[in-house]
Amino acid sequence: MTLSDTLPADPADLFADLGDAAGLVLAVSGGPDSTAMMALVAAWPDHPPALVVTIDHGLRRQAADETALVAANAQKLGLPVKIVRAGSIAGRGNLQARARAARYRLLADAARAAGHDTIVTAHHRDDQAETFLLRLARGSGVYGLAAMAPETDLDGLRLARPLLGVSRQALLLVAQASGLAFVRDPSNCDRRYDRVRMRQLLPFLADHGLTVERLAETAGRLGRAAAAIDAEATRILQQAIIIDDFGVARGDPAPFSAVHREIGLRAFGRLLQAVSGAPYTPGMKPLERLYPAITGENSGPARRTLHGTTVSILPDRFTIMREWGRCGPESLAVEPGEAMVFDGRFAVSVPDDDILTRSNRQRDGLRVGPLGKAPVRARVAGVGGTALATLPGLFCGTRLVGLPELAVFKDDRLPLVGLPVRALAADRLATPRSLPAFVRPD
C-alpha cells in the first residue's frame, strides 16, 4: 500500500487553512500520529516553509533515541528539523500538565526563532472524543465540552490542529505507508492516566451509540456555540477595557452589567487570563463569586485576588494587575539577541549587546525575571507596587543588568541596558481564536 492510497484527503485540502502561514512549526514526537502529519505536510505541494521540532523532556530513557528518529525521518522527507532539549520541569502537581506547558513554550520559542507564525499539532478525531468525555466527567460547561478548537492563540502565535476531522486509524495507515519508522509511547497504555482509561471505554460507549464520530461532532457544535458567546464577549471587552503598556487593565463595569451573565462571565474570565498571563481561564465557581462585585450587585469597594491577579473594585471602575503570589513570576534563561515571552504577559527582545555578551560568559549567565525588589531606584508613571515588581528585568545571576524601556529612572547614571518589552494582554483579548490554547487542569 502506498502513501497516496492511504491519504484521508488531499493534503492541500487538509491544510487549506494554513496556506497563508508565514511558516509552520510541526510538533513531532515520533509517534504514529505526528509522523503521519509530517508525511502529509511533505506531500502537500507548495506548502509554507516548515520546520520539524521534536522535544526531549528527559523524562524517559528512550527520549534521545526517539528525537534522533524524528530527525532522521524529517531529513528523509526533506524537511529541516530542530531537536530541543527541555530543562527541568520539577514542581508540584500533574507532571504531564507541566511537561505539556513546557512543550508548548518551547515550540513557541522555536517558532519565533525561525520567524514562523503557526505551530501545527497532530491532534485527531479520537483525541477530540476523549477530551470531550474527560471534560464531561469533570462537569465542564460549554467551553470545556467544546474540547479542542481547530485554531487557538498561543502567545501571539497560531496553534493549529488541522487533523481534528481525521481518525487515529487513518493516521496510523498513513504512517505505515509512509515508510517512516515510528515509536509507540508506553504511557498511552498506562491506566494510571485518566485519558487512557477513557480511551479504553470508547468501544463500550460505541456499542450504545456514543461513537467517536458522534462525540467529536457534538464537541464541534458546542465549539460553535462557544465561539458565538466569545464574539459577544469580545465586543464587551472592547467597550469596557483599556490595557496600558504595563499590562494593567482598567475597566468600566457598566457594559458587564448590561449583558447576559454568561457573556459577562466569559469576558471577565478572558480578562483575568490575559492580565495574569495564564494559559487558561479561571474556574467557574471562583469567577462566579467575584463577578457580582464587578457588576455592582455587591456594593462597596473591594480588593480580591483571583487567578494570579489582584482585582481592585470601586463603584464606577475596577483595576486588574498581575499578582506577585508566593515567589513571583518564573525566571527564564536567555541569550543576547533572543526574543522570548515572559510570564505569558510580555514579549521581550534581549539586546545583542557587548556588555550582555560579556556578562553571559560569566558563570551565572543571563535570565529574564521579575524586577521584584531589585536594588534600583526606579519609578513608572502611574504604576507602582506589585505592577512594577512583576515587570520583566534582565539579570546576570542576581545582578540587575537591564530594565524595561518603559521604566523612567531617577538615577540616569545607572549602567543598565534598556530592555525592549511589549505587553501582550491587549493582543490576547483581541484575538481569542474561539478558545484558549489550554484548559484548566483539575
Tell me, yes or no, whether 166 and 89 share the same domain.
Answer: yes
Per-residue pLDDT, 439: 37
Query: What pLDDT digit, counting tens, does each position of 243-262 carry?
Result: 998 899 999 999 999 999 99
Per-residue pLDDT, 83: 96
Tell me, yes or no, whether 172 and 249 share the same domain.
Answer: no
104 within 8 A of 66, measured Cβ to Cβ: no
Tell me the CATH number at 248: 3.30.465.60
> What does the H/E/C string look like for 7-72?
CCCCHHHHCHHHCCCCCEEEECCCCHHHHHHHHHHHCCCCCCCEEEEEEECCCCCCHHHHHHHHHH
Domain boundary among 290, 325, 360: 325
User: Residue 320 is part of which domain span?
Assistant: 218-325
Gyration radius (Cα) of the chain, Å = 23
- Write the single-letter amino acid at 198: M
Tell me, yes or no, whether 34 and 82 share the same domain.
Answer: yes
Strands 118-120 and 157-160: parallel
Residue 436 — pLDDT band, cuts 50, 70, 90? very low
Residue 309 — pLDDT band, cuts 50, 70, 90? very high
pLDDT cut 90: percent of the chain above it? 59
Residue 237 — pLDDT band, cuts 50, 70, 90? very high
Into how many domains does the chain fold?
Answer: 3
Tell me, yes or no, whether 286 and 351 share the same domain.
Answer: no
Q: Is the pLDDT of residue 300 over 80?
A: no
What is the spatial order of strands in the sheet that 81-85 belongs to? 81-85, 50-56, 24-27, 118-120, 157-160, 151-154
Residue 17 lies in a domain: yes
Residue 266 lies in a domain: yes
Residue 436 lies in a domain: no
| Residue 222 grid cell | 458546542
Domain boundary among 306, 325, 344: 325
Tell me, yes or no, whether 196 and 226 share the same domain.
Answer: no
pLDDT, greater one: 7 or 381: 7
Residue keyed to cell 527582545:
349
Query: What pLDDT digit, counting tens, does each position of 401-421 carry?
Result: 888 887 555 554 456 788 899
Query: What pLDDT digit, counting tens, does each position of 144-202 carry?
Result: 899 999 998 887 899 999 999 999 999 999 999 999 999 987 777 788 888 889 999 99
pLDDT, greater one: 140 or 3: 140
pLDDT cut 70: percent of the chain above it? 86
Residue 235 lies in a domain: yes
Per-residue pLDDT, 438: 37
Tell me, yes or no, whether 397 and 367 share the same domain.
Answer: yes
pLDDT, greater one: 211 or 376: 211
Residue 213 lies in a domain: no
Tell me, yes or no, whether 36 and 68 share the same domain.
Answer: yes
Q: How far apart are CA 360 and CA 396, in angstroms?
A: 7
Domain boundary among 325, 350, 383: 325
Tell me, yes or no, whether 68 and 182 share the same domain.
Answer: yes
Residue 155 lies in a domain: no
CA torsion through residues 145, 288, 102, 17, sign:
positive
Q: Is the pLDDT of residue 306 over 90?
A: yes
Query: What pLDDT digit, counting tens, does each position of 79-124 carry?
Result: 999 999 876 655 555 666 677 888 898 999 999 999 999 999 999 9
Tell me, yes or no, whether 229 and 357 share the same domain.
Answer: no
- Write the single-letter amino acid at 39: A
312 within 8 A of 319, measured Cβ to Cβ: yes
Per-residue pLDDT, 442: 32
Residue 431 lies in a domain: no
Closest by CA position to 146, among listed 266, 298, 66, 321? 266
Tell me, yes or no, whether 111 and 189 share the same domain.
Answer: yes
| Residue 376 grid cell | 534600583
Tell me, yes or no, whether 237 and 311 share the same domain.
Answer: yes
Find the range with the poorest average confidence among 21-25, 283-287, 288-292, 309-313: 283-287
Per-residue pLDDT, 111: 96
Mean per-residue pLDDT over the chain, rounded? 86
Residue 33 lies in a domain: yes
> What does the H/E/C string look like for the chain?
CCHHHHCCCCHHHHCHHHCCCCCEEEECCCCHHHHHHHHHHHCCCCCCCEEEEEEECCCCCCHHHHHHHHHHHHHHHCCCEEEEECCCCCCCCCHHHHHHHHHHHHHHHHHHHHCCCEEECCCCHHHHHHHHHHHHHCCCCHHHHCCCCCEEEECCEEEECCCCCCCHHHHHHHHHHCCCCCCCCHHHHCCCCHHHHHHHHHHHHHHCCCCHHHHHHHHHHHHHHHHHHHHHHHHHHHHHEEECCCCCEEECCHHHHCCCHHHHHHHHHHHHHHHHCCCCCCCHHHHHHHHHHHHCCCCCCEEEEECCEEEEEECCEEEEEECCCCCCCCCEEECCCCEEEECCCEEEECCCCHHHHHHHCCCCCEEEEECCCCCCCEEECCECCHHHHCCEEEEECCEEEEEECCCEECCCCCCCEEECEEECHHHHHHCCCCCECCCCCC
Mean pLDDT, to the nearest integer, of 225-241? 94
Tell me, yes or no, whether 336 and 321 share the same domain.
Answer: no
Per-residue pLDDT, 356: 66
| Residue 364 Cα to chain centre, angstroms | 28
Tell me the CATH number at 51: 3.40.50.620
